[in-house]
Amino acid sequence: MTYHAFLQGWVCYVTWMCQRRPWRSRLGGLLAVSGWLCCCPVQAMPETEFQQQRNQVFALAETDYPAAISKIDQLLQQPSLSLEQGIRLRYSKAIYLHRTNQTKAAIQLLADCKALSLDSSDPSILYSYYNTLGAIFDDLHLYEQALSNYRQALQKAEFLADPRYGEQTGNNLGLVLLKLEQYQEAQRLFTRFLAGAQQRHNMDEQAVALNNLGELELRAGRLDSAEVFYQRSLELKQQHQLQQALSYSHVSLAQLAAKRQLWAASAEHAEQALLLRQQRHDTSKIEPGLLLAEALYQLSETERAEQVLQQTLQLAVKQQDLSAQIRGQQLQAQISERLGKPMQALQAVKTALKAQMEQSRRSFAVQLAQASADSMLQVRENQLRQLNHQSQLDAARQQSQQRFYLTLLSAISLLLLLTGGFLWQLKRKNHLLAQHIAELEQTRAQLVEAEKMAALTSLVSGMAHQLNTPLGNLITAHSFLAEQLTQVQQLFSQKQLSAGQLAAALTDSEQALTLARGNAERAAQLIEQFKQFSSQLQEKRQQQVSLGTLCRDQLDWLEREVAARGFKAHTQCYGEDLQIMTDPLLLHRVLHSVLQNCMDHALQAPLPLHVTICIQQQDDQIRLYVADNGPGIAVEQRRRIFEPFVGSRWGQGQAGLGLSVAFNAATQLGGSINAVDPNEWPAAQPTEFTIGALLLCQLPS
């Protein structure tokens, strides 16, 4: 594409030169003709041939995603591919990258595809973008994001001639609504998909629609109705020999049997599904493996259940399927308890918790990557608009110059008329420039709003991430205590409770209570920090405060806290002891948060902590300078230290809210807080880290 664009540009240049210099017209004409022949577009690959090569990719993906990705990369090197064909291949590559746990790369590739789609007139390209993105978010259990993208795909499908696009997207949207328990809307979409498949006599789609309706009835608790739909789907697949789809019916019937506690039937269907998926990708074997292990466990075939579960967990770990790992480890804990292995059960619970935390981290990372990709795409689109505007301005300027040269060569009798035309053209250009400036201002306002939304998303995600771990541990501890109490009650009622079992149960319960208490206290501390970060006083309580006394009291508190941690602290406060009218609670919060931050970050090495506060009056302002001998902060990081959930020890017991609390409190005081360079310290002594230039209030008159 770049080569042809270069040749086309060369032809335009030669043609322009020939117009300016007639004596070179013949040579220019020859060059133009030869360039045009070189620029003739390569004939696009026929759609039938493209579909054949694409089917080869699909066949590889049934067993080997990396091989499918490599095949797509080879196909993308072919120059005969059209723009739309290349984008469709990239969509498939994005799906396979996601399934090989390269979701960030998949998100970036989709963003590139959306940028390429701006040059395409095919409306199905943008439709496929939202459909693919919705499928990725659905796999990650980010159902709200999946719902949003599928709805956008459904809107794009309304402009497509083939109704299958809208019906298939509606089916995908229904599956997401099903997981969000919006059964009525999901049933409407599944019924529409079934009606369309029956009208087209597409047996494969009919089987899928019937199976989805059965899934809806199962989730709604209507088991008999679910069985009817599942059996209809199974009979349709058997009648028309849809072998690849048979395994899904057996998985559904296994789930239904498990719901009815018919464990023998559940195990039979799960084994049949595994047998049908022997030659398929390992990812497809995880769900029936978990169903089989659970059924065997309920049938008291504990050893075989553990064997099947271990094989399934190995596949889940290999494929990095965190949801399957969580389910598997929970089942492993139950099996270990039945086998009398409490430590192994506890280890399984811990592993499930780690998988849950990793799942939350991965979901947050993907959302962040999507937000970043959307921002970059927005910037790219804005740049394209600016280039288009500039191109229009250049074209208008060139046209104006041409008319100016023609005016000079025109007859004197037409001079006034041409001059009037030129002035009118200049006025029109000014009007266009004013319109472009207004559009640029509107674009800038949109970018500001986008940055606000990105900041809000970061804040909400940070709070959710901080609270997720302690609340998850609380739920796990509660579940474990409930199971432990049930087991003890059963043994007691059966008069089989021994002293050793009671002691072990009490020990496990005490550990679970300790875990619950610690996580509850952690959640309470986080909520208290969130309250401090977001608190806004209804009315300020102004009173006279001795600034020096308040600072020395805070330094005394710092020395006691450091001593309680087994370290030494040397503090100093100097400057004028000013009497000011301010809110003492807010001022205390500012100093307390800053000194707490000094202590948390400076005590990482076994060295005495040195903290100095300097009070300085400049004109009608009061400034407090706080310095410590900690490791310091890099210059490029100083602009972000007051943002919430940003810190060097975030995730190590710290929420990253200390300096954000100080920033909010200082703002409520009518002042400001900034990290300044150590050279700006007012005293003649070296410092490594300084937070200063804090304007607290105006001096009283």
Tell whether the model's pLDDT for residue 282 goes beyond 50. yes
Residue 529 pLDDT grade (very low, low, confident, very high; cuts 50, 70, 90): low
Asked, for residue 115, whether it belongs to a domain, the answer is no
Taking alpha carbons only, the member of 587, 609, 591, 589 closest to residue 600 is 609
- CATH number for the domain including 326? 1.25.40.10
Query: What mean pLDDT, rounded, does the chain reach?
Result: 77
Backbone angles phi, psi at 545, to 5 degrees: -130, 140
Residues 432, 492, single domain; the answer is yes
Residues 456, 585, single domain; the answer is no
Q: Say how far apart CA 555 and CA 573 lie, in whole Å.
A: 8
- Do 562 and 569 touch, CB atoms closer than 8 A? yes
**What single DSSP character describes residue 630?**
S
Given this model, what pLDDT does residue 526 score?
64
Q: Summarize pLDDT for 463-507 with one digit per residue, the tens.
A: 566 666 777 777 887 888 888 788 888 888 888 878 888 888 788
Residues 576, 530, single domain; the answer is no
Last residue of a domain, which of 534, 552, 584?
A: 534
Tell whether the model's pLDDT for residue 362 goes beyond 80. no
Residues 549, 592, single domain; the answer is yes
Residues 552, 690, single domain; the answer is yes
Asked, for residue 305, whether it belongs to a domain, the answer is yes
Given this model, what pLDDT does residue 593 score?
82
Asked, for residue 187, whether it belongs to a domain, the answer is no
Residues 450, 529, single domain; the answer is yes
Residue 528 pLDDT grade (very low, low, confident, very high; cuts 50, 70, 90): low
Q: Summarize pLDDT for 615-632 with one digit per residue, the tens.
A: 888 777 788 888 877 766
Asked which of 122-136, 261-275, 331-345, 373-387 is least confident by mean pLDDT, the reply is 373-387
Residue 330 pLDDT grade (very low, low, confident, very high; cuts 50, 70, 90): confident
Q: Say how far apart CA 350 and CA 602 lie, in whole Å.
A: 33
Taking alpha carbons only, the member of 167, 166, 131, 128 closest to residue 150 is 131
Taking alpha carbons only, the member of 466, 521, 512 closest to residue 652 is 466
Q: Say how far apart CA 306 and CA 310 lie, in whole Å.
A: 6
Q: Say how far apart CA 328 and CA 311 lie, in whole Å.
A: 10
- Do 676 and 691 touch, CB atoms closer than 8 A? yes
- What is the tally of structural domains in the chain? 4
Asked which of 141-155, 341-355, 512-526, 533-547 is least confident by mean pLDDT, the reply is 533-547
Q: What is the mean pLDDT of residues 417-431?
A: 85
Check residues 677 and 62 and name the one with the higher pLDDT.
62
Last residue of a domain, which of 495, 513, 534?
A: 534
Strands 569-575 and 689-698 come out as unpaired
Asked, for residue 205, whether it belongs to a domain, the answer is no
Residues 693, 659, single domain; the answer is yes
Residues 480, 573, single domain; the answer is no
Residues 319, 408, single domain; the answer is no
Tell whether the model's pLDDT for residue 240 goes beyond 70. yes
- Do 443 and 382 touch, CB atoms closer than 8 A? yes
Token readout for 514 is 């300790």
Q: What is the mean pLDDT of residues 72-93?
A: 87
Residue 38 pLDDT grade (very low, low, confident, very high; cuts 50, 70, 90): very low
Residue type, 439: E
The DSSP H or E segment spanning 628 is: strand 621-628
> CB within 8 A of 481, min separation 6: which ones?
509, 512, 513, 516
Q: Say how far apart CA 332 and CA 345 lie, in whole Å.
A: 7
Asked, for residue 177, whether it belongs to a domain, the answer is no
Q: Is the dihedral of CA 482, 485, 487, 490 positive or negative?
A: negative
Q: How far, in Å, are 51, 320, 480 from residue 353 at the CA level?
A: 44, 15, 13
Asked, for residue 406, whether it belongs to a domain, the answer is yes
Taking alpha carbons only, the member of 590, 611, 599 closest to residue 562 is 599
Given this model, what pLDDT does residue 20 score?
44
Q: Say how far apart CA 69 and CA 57 lie, in whole Å.
A: 8
Given this model, what pLDDT does residue 538 score?
42
Q: Say how far apart CA 304 and CA 300 lie, in whole Å.
A: 9
Given this model, what pLDDT does residue 631 score?
67
What single string gives the DSSP state of each residue in 549-569?
Answer: HHHHHHHHHHHHHHHHTT--E
What single string gives the DSSP state of each residue in 122-183?
Answer: -HHHHHHHHHHHHHHHHHTT-HHHHHHHHHHHHHHHTTSS-HHHHHHHHHHHHHHHHHTT-H
Asked which of 124-133, 383-392, 637-646 is least confident by mean pLDDT, the reply is 637-646
- Do 464 and 492 touch, CB atoms closer than 8 A? no
Given this model, what pLDDT does residue 422 score?
80
Given this model, what pLDDT does residue 200 score?
87
Q: Say how far apart CA 106 and CA 694 lie, in whole Å.
A: 45
Residue type, 229: F
Token readout for 211 is 């199976």
Q: Say how far apart CA 104 and CA 521 lie, in whole Å.
A: 35
Strands 569-575 and 609-618 come out as parallel
Q: Say how far apart CA 140 and CA 366 lie, in whole Å.
A: 9
Residues 332, 418, single domain; the answer is no
Q: How many residues does the chain have?
A: 701
Residues 582, 626, single domain; the answer is yes
Residues 516, 558, single domain; the answer is no
Tell whether the model's pLDDT for residue 508 goes beyond 70. yes
Taking alpha carbons only, the member of 110, 99, 30, 16 closest to residue 65 is 99
Q: Is the dihedral of CA 357, 358, 359, 364 positive or negative?
A: positive
Given this model, what pLDDT does residue 601 score?
67
Asked, for residue 104, whether it belongs to a domain, the answer is no
Taking alpha carbons only, the member of 99, 5, 104, 85 closest to residue 46 is 85
Check residues 668 and 380 and name the one with the higher pLDDT.
668
Asked, for residue 663, whether it belongs to a domain, the answer is yes
Q: Say how far apart CA 255 and CA 16 lie, in whole Å.
A: 73
% of the chain surpassing 90 pLDDT: 0
Last residue of a domain, which of 534, 566, 597?
A: 534
Tell whether the model's pLDDT for residue 352 goes beyond 60. yes
- CATH number for the domain including 661? 3.30.565.10
Q: Summarize pLDDT for 560-573 with one digit per residue, the tens.
A: 888 888 888 888 88
% of the chain surpassing 70 pLDDT: 78
Residue 33 belongs to domain spanning: 2-38
Residue 60 pLDDT grade (very low, low, confident, very high; cuts 50, 70, 90): confident
Asked which of 3-7, 45-49, 300-304, 467-471 is least confident by mean pLDDT, the reply is 3-7
pTM for the predicted model, two decimal places: 0.48
